Amino acid sequence: MTEPDHHRPEVRSVQHTKGCSQSVRELHELYCHWTAQNLTLRFDRERLWYEFLGAGFSAADLKRVLTYLQKELRAQRRNIGALKLSNLLQLGRFEEDLNISRVRLKPPALRPDPIPKPIADTQMDDEQRSRVLEQLRIFRQHLGRNGSTS
């Protein structure tokens, strides 16, 4: 008695290979779309994508790292070469970039000022008001005299 096809190892291997090939093509198309590049899917690139999938990474991971790298490029903290497929798919570096992209940096805690700021005294007493008004009157008179001589 023969086993059903889905139980035979050689059939599972062919099905798995077809599924992986499809995933590799899809990932490569996504990469090209997200980076606005047009790269052919040659054997060496295909191998990189197989390794990427074999390491357990997904399209969502790829999108997250590409978004992170593009943000870093705009801020001039990374080199454009970080988006090259051959650099991006170095699995150790990809994993590091993925982890860094997940980090949420907290702003530094606000420290209270050790020296309290003086509170401005907004009220003038009558004597100060009188002095300021007198100085303003003298200033206006001075301007009037200088303005009439020109």
In a domain, 140, yes or no: no
Q: Is residue 59 part of a domain?
A: yes
Task: Kindly report the average pLDDT of the chain as a whole number.
Answer: 82
In a domain, 57, yes or no: yes
- Check residue 57 and give its pLDDT: 96
Q: Which domain holds residue 24?
A: 5-102
* Position 69 in a domain: yes
Cα gap 124→73, rounded to integer Å = 56
Residue 22 lies in a domain: yes
Give the predicted TM-score (pTM) of the model: 0.58
Q: What is the pLDDT of residues 16-74, one digit of tens each?
A: 456 688 999 999 999 999 999 999 999 999 999 999 999 999 999 999 999 999 999 99
**What does the chain look like in DSSP terms, one character per residue?**
-PPPGGGSHHHHHHHHHHHHHHHHHHHHHHHHHHHT------HHHHHHHHHHHHTT--HHHHHHHHHHHHHHHHTTSS-GGGGSHHHHT-HHHHHHHHHHHH--PPPPPPPPPSSPPPPP-----HHHHHHHHHHHHHHHHHHHHHHH--
For residue 98, is it within any domain?
yes
The pLDDT of residue 60: 95
Q: Is 28 domain-assigned? A: yes
Please count the structural domains in the chain.
1
